[in-house]
């Protein structure tokens, strides 16, 4: 039973914390707008819906992990550590895994239809669809260089939508600038993971056998992709800040620092010897993330006007 749980990867459910970002965006824009009347009421029901919204997402994420491990088994046998996973090592029954995947989908969509609105259910369907597009032939974007990063990071805006529609009306939609910023942020993380994984394997021929996209990737191209995604993230984030929460301009330098910390870890010799997942578990990355979230939260909820903020800043520097 433990081996089947490993395939479902409940330890990776932590990634669904990104759904909370969708909750925060909905609350900031709909419950506490800078201008206009609020269209979302915050009460005990809101908290319950926010917590429950994580459950179907975890079910569907595990269904995707099952698909991933079954279809990746021939390639995982070429990987230094993934060859010991339950499916490639032959410790589990594949037919039973397919049955578990169907059960998880029934539980996830059953709860979604019973508790949430149509917007949430559509976002949940996109989460499952992304798993098929990413893993299943003939599309299998996992094997297509650069598209693999874009496709995998698309789970970021999907989780944003899950968080948004758990609280917001089905016919509403989060701002495109915020959705795109969140997508490019995910692409930055995934490109860093690819770079670390490429160096972790350390053998061009073997890395190409493990993942076809690695036949195209080089260290230089992966570094350039990280820089590109970081720039697009900053661009979209800048638009979102200017339009919806101008005070957040003061957190931007800290965001740049956090990006530099992540890129430095991804490119360091020490991290190249570790599994790429360790990048996101680094205490320094976690510290920077917590600092950005805490300061962003404070600035987002404050009523201080941007004009007054800049005036205060000018006073501080003596202008």
Domain boundaries, the chain: 1-173, 175-319
C-alpha atoms less than 13 angstroms from C-alpha of 188 in its C-beta half-sphere: 24
Q: What are phi and psi of 87, to 5 degrees?
A: -75, -55
CA 90 to chain CA mean position, Å: 30
Torsion (CA) 151, 116, 294, 34 in degrees, nearest 10:
100
Can you tell me the distance from the alpha carbon of 255 to that of 177, in angstroms, rounded to the nearest whole number?
17
Specify the DSSP class assigned to residue 274. S
Q: Please give the CATH number for the structural domain made up of 1-173.
A: 1.10.357.140
Give me the pLDDT at residue 273, please: 47
Of 295, 299, 301, nearest to 312 by C-alpha is: 299
Ordered DSSP codes for 11-54: GGGGGGGHHHHHHHHHIIIIIS-SSS---S--SHHHHHHHHHTH
SS3 195: helix
Which run of H or E residues covers position 283?
helix 283-301
Confidence at residue 1, expressed as pLDDT on a 0 to 100 scale: 77
Token pair recorded at residue 185: 């942020």
Phi (first) and psi of residue 283, to 5 degrees: -55, -35
Phi, psi of 175 (to 5 degrees): -55, 140
The residue whose two tokens read 């698309």 is: 154
- Please state at what angle helix 118-135 crosses helix 155-167, rounded to 10 degrees: 170
Provide CB contacts within 8 A for 39, sequence distance 6+. 30, 31, 169, 172
Return the beta strands (E) in the chain as ranges: none
| pLDDT score of 224 | 93
The full DSSP string for 284-301 is HHHHHHHHHHHHHHHHHH
Residue 116 and residue 26: Cα distance in Å, rounded? 15
pLDDT of 72: 85
Q: What is the pLDDT along the chain (319 residues), one digit of tens a residue?
A: 788 898 998 988 888 888 998 998 999 889 888 777 888 889 999 999 999 999 999 999 999 999 999 998 887 777 777 788 888 888 889 999 999 999 999 999 999 999 999 999 999 999 999 999 998 888 889 888 899 999 999 999 999 999 999 999 999 999 999 999 999 999 998 888 888 778 777 666 676 667 778 888 888 999 999 999 999 999 999 999 888 888 888 888 888 888 888 778 777 755 544 455 566 667 777 788 778 878 877 776 665 555 455 554 454 445 5
- Spatial separation of the C-alpha atoms in residues 214 and 196, rounded to whole Å: 12
pLDDT at 84: 83
The answer to whether the CB of 139 falls within 8 A of the CB of 131 is no
Q: Is the peptide bond before 138 cis (omega within 30 degrees of 0)?
A: yes
SS3 170: coil
Q: Which residue has the tokens 């990355």?
A: 285
Q: Confirm if 279 and 265 have CB atoms less than 8 A apart.
A: yes
Q: Which phi and psi (to 5°) does residue 169 adopt? A: -60, 150
């Amino acid at each position: 039973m433990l081996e089947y749980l490993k395939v479902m990867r409940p330890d990776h459910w932590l990634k669904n914390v990104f759904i909370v970002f969708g909750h925060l965006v909905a609350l900031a824009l709909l419950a506490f707008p800078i201008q206009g009347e609020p269209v979302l009421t915050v009460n005990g029901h809101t908290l319950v819906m926010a917590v429950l919204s994580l459950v179907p997402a975890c079910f569907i994420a595990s269904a995707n992990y099952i698909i991933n491990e079954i279809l990746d088994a021939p390639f995982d046998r070429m990987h230094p550590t993934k060859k010991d996973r339950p499916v490639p090592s032959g410790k589990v029954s594949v037919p039973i895994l397919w049955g578990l995947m169907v059960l998880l989908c029934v539980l996830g969509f059953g709860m979604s239809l019973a508790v949430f609105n149509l917007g949430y259910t559509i976002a949940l369907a996109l989460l499952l669809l992304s798993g098929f597009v990413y893993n299943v032939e003939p599309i299998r974007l996992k094997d297509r260089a650069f598209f693999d990063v874009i496709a995998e990071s698309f789970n970021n805006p999907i989780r944003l939508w899950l968080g948004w529609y758990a609280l917001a009306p089905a016919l509403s939609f989060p701002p495109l600038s915020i959705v795109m910023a969140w997508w490019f942020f995910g692409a930055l993380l995934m490109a860093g993971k690819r770079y670390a994984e490429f160096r972790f394997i350390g053998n061009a021929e073997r890395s190409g056998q493990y993942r076809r996209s690695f036949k195209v990737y080089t260290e230089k191209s992966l570094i350039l992709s990280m820089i590109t995604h970081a720039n697009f993230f900053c661009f979209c984030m800048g638009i979102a800040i200017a339009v919806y929460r101008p005070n957040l301009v003061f957190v931007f330098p800290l965001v740049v620092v956090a990006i530099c910390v992540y890129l430095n870890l991804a490119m360091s010799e020490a991290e190249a010897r570790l599994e790429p997942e360790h990048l996101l578990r680094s205490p320094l990355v976690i510290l920077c993330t917590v600092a950005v979230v805490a300061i962003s939260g404070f600035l987002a909820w404050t009523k201080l006007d941007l004009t007054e903020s800049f005036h205060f800043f000018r006073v501080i520097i003596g202008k």
